[in-house]
Amino acid sequence: MDLKGKAIITNTVTADDVVELKKRGVTLLATFTPEMEGRSFGVNVMEAMLVALSGKTKEEITEHDYEDLVEKLAMSPRVEWLNG
């Protein structure tokens, strides 16, 4: 399928996915989570990581705790220009 000029917004992506999207002509790739060792993990995986790092249970962690951890880890969405 030709995806020339399209922007893809997704939850997770692997290095092989990026190669395929580039080959199909995708202009922009954006994920909700950062690239880590060639892939972007699902939001649920990132949430579990943040809970584990916080030392709190899922019931104890607050929105403020998440925000602090995301800032300390300098986490941001992945935005990558593939073609164009």
Predicted TM-score (pTM) of the model is 0.79
Per-position DSSP letters for 22-77, written without gaps between them:
HHTT--EEEESS-EETTEE--HHHHHHHHHHHHTS-TTT--HHHHHHHHHHTT---
Residues of the chain above pLDDT 70, percent: 100
Mean pLDDT within 60-76: 95
Using 50, 70 and 90 to split pLDDT, how confident is the model at 29? very high
Neighbours of 17 (CB within 10 A): 15
- Rounded Cα–Cα distance for residues 74 and 57 (Å): 22
- Rounded Cα–Cα distance for residues 75 and 50 (Å): 11
